Chain A
């Protein structure tokens, strides 16, 4: 159907209908929409917002758990949160989440962009490469975790490769020590900032963990970027396809080389794609659980622990539902901190 044929034909029909069942139609016009969305609104209200509210409530109670449904609130209203932020483990979790998210976003966006540009310009086998790079995305995090755990265990995988290729030996002849990193079992924290942070922030010695980059997290970042780099590539491929050829031609006419075209024209045009990718991957990374659980667990000294694992253990092992709920609320706030500015931006643009 085309516009020209339907619009004039339908107009009279609608008016005649309106006239014949005026009241019914008006009722339908005002209430049909709300009636249709009402079920989903009710479900959302109960099963999403209701339970978020319940979790917030539990996070304020003394000791609610399934065996003992005691709903007494804590005397010090935010006591569970205060306890939470003072435990070394949760401090390590927050550090890990922030470090992991930053490294992971940079890595997967970079991988995605480079792959997308390569695939976009490859003429032969474009579909093949696109599928190959997108395949990891189809795997579950548990599978990825198990495989990469094997690769990054010191006695297997990567270290055997270093030995077999002679890299380890060559390194030994230079430094006297073979190159056999500890990978996911390394519990050192690089670039420690405690000495810098503690004097600045009032309140002094509240840090019970080292603030820096836990080295054991890097293999986890590699595994995560391997899995989601393909997703970023797909986003960028769509973005690249949406850039009209005229733009490239115009840049060429103005005398820009390929590098300059990318730097000055294409990359700025891809900025909305980057933003979307960062928001989607950002919330994946903030609530990550399964990959870390399968690959590294909590790690020595909680070097790879994340809030998700903390919540799971506090709730189902320790029966500290209130501490678990408080940690969940903190996770929710972290995700909000990433998503809300993006949504606000999007709505602001739609309004203007």
Chain B
């Protein structure tokens, strides 16, 4: 009598374990659903509001459809990447997920995981409403695989008006490299930190270097570099890297302990004169109660006036979705004028459609939208659009080494090596 329960327990345990082990894979059935699972890393205040704007517009046009918001927070998207990769391995991808255009979505498209969205573009006549270089960045062999929600500009230089006025610096609608240099020197002479940097996450340093490179090489030179037609040992590249190490001597000494938003905040609070960061910093500044034009100002990063570095967010659709028609409706909704306006209003970015009336957006955003329509668009390396994720990581690692040893030769050699892989 006393031993029977033991047997029973063992048997139950084995059965239960076998059941769990086998149950995992068969959960996803083949039947049509009216559910769309939307996967992203948009969980912060403005991001979540922007995502909800997309979801609300989609629901309005498609009543009766449920949207499952599967956003994963933290790590600047790396936590979400981890979850997404696990789900892709397990054969259980979300219906649609967020990524960046260009090389960042390359692996997904090349391995047949993304749904062909060309017909959505044709039906909605998006090919004439969105800039061709950006559509090309989401295409393979003439087929399009993603839709942009909006673009951020990467090459913006922000400044604190009071701090600059205190040092007798006046800034017009742009700043030449010489003027920028003189301004930094004046700030230092006044005992102020010239440039705020917060690179606890190394992308912030990498973004400064990217902006210096774009400013020095110009749009065409930058494209040649990221496509591998120019070597990293090119004298112009070396000169830009030297310029960057010069900037590093003028940043706050505790930069590696700050996050990018803490650096923006320090600039806004008068702790330094300048900060260079993509225009998601704009939302941070407004959130802190700073006024555009009164407390802070902005110009394109010196030397890159004619270039708009695009940091775009894309939704791709899963090729193995249960209901491709519904997912295509989601894609169509993301690209609609209403969604583009509502999303970018909340997120602080620029609509990708050039036929959207932006007069209801903030003054910075209106200026950015004008630049987006008239300047040369180039893609960012720092956010994985211009190069593969592997090269992006190599770039981050090389920048980190450069920050400590200022060894330009080692930097150039490391990236030349990585570019050849």
Contacts and interface: CB of A to CB of B under 8 A. Distances in A.
User: Do A and B make up one complex?
Assistant: yes
Interface of A: 35-36, 38-39, 43, 65-69, 87-89, 149, 152-155, 182-185, 187, 296-303, 312-320
Contacts of A43: 17
22 contacts: A38-B14, A43-B17, A65-B107, A66-B86, A66-B89, A67-B88, A67-B108, A67-B111, A68-B110, A89-B400, A89-B401, A149-B257, A153-B254, A154-B254, A185-B257, A299-B256, A301-B403, A302-B404, A316-B81, A316-B82, A317-B389, A319-B390
A316 B78 contact: yes
B256 A185 contact: yes
State which size class the interface on B falls in: 35 or more
A217 to B, nearest CB: 13
B17 A300 contact: no
Contact of A317 (B14, B111, B392, B404): B392
Contacts of A313: 78, 393
A249 B108 CA distance: 74
A127 to B, nearest CB: 38
Contact of B78 (A65, A68, A89, A317): A317
Contacts of A185: 253-257
A318 B393 contact: yes
Interface string B65-90: 00000000000001001100110110
B392 A318 contact: yes
Pick the most buried of A43, A185, A320: most chain B CB atoms within 10 A of its CB.
Answer: A185
Contacts of A312: 78
Contacts of B404: 187, 300-303
Given A66-B85, A184-B256, A299-B256, 17 more contacts: A39-B13, A66-B86, A67-B113, A88-B397, A154-B257, A182-B253, A183-B257, A185-B253, A187-B256, A297-B200, A301-B401, A301-B403, A301-B404, A316-B81, A316-B82, A318-B392, A318-B394
Nearest to B16: A39
A105 to B, nearest CB: 26
Given A155-B254, A317-B393, A39 B17 contact: yes
Contact of B401 (A88, A149, A154, A315): A88
Contacts of B185: none
B10 interface: yes
Nearest to B205: A300
B201 interface: yes
Contacts of B400: 89, 298, 300-302
Contact of B256 (A66, A155, A300): A300
B405 interface: yes
B10 A314 contact: no
Interface of B: 6, 10, 13-14, 17, 78, 81-82, 85-86, 88-89, 107-108, 110-111, 113, 200-202, 253-258, 388-390, 392-394, 397, 400-401, 403-405, 410, 414
B85 A153 contact: no
B17 A66 contact: no
B257 A184 contact: yes
Contacts of A36: 6, 10
A89 B82 CA distance: 22
A346 B255 CA distance: 48
Contacts of A317: 78, 81, 389, 392-393
B393 A154 contact: no
Contacts of A183: 257
B294 to A, nearest CB: 26
Contacts of B17: 39, 43
Contact of A297 (B13, B201, B388): B201
A14 to B, nearest CB: 13
Contacts of B201: 297
A205 to B, nearest CB: 13
A152 B13 CA distance: 49
A106 B279 CA distance: 47
Pick the most buried of B82, B111, B257, B397: most chain A CB atoms within 10 A of its CB.
Answer: B257
A319 B78 contact: no
A297 B13 CA distance: 42
A89 B400 CA distance: 9
Q: Which 8 A-B pairs have the closest CB atoms?
A: A301-B404, A318-B393, A67-B107, A66-B85, A66-B89, A153-B257, A187-B404, A154-B254
Given A68-B110, A297-B200, A316 B85 contact: yes
Contact of A318 (B82, B113, B390): B390
A35 B256 CA distance: 56
A301 B17 CA distance: 47
Contact of A301 (B78, B81, B389, B405): B405
A313 B397 CA distance: 10
A35 to B, nearest CB: 7
B81 A68 contact: no
Given A39-B17, A303-B404, A313-B393, A154 B253 contact: yes
Contacts of A154: 253-254, 257
A36 B293 CA distance: 74
Contacts of A318: 389-390, 392-394
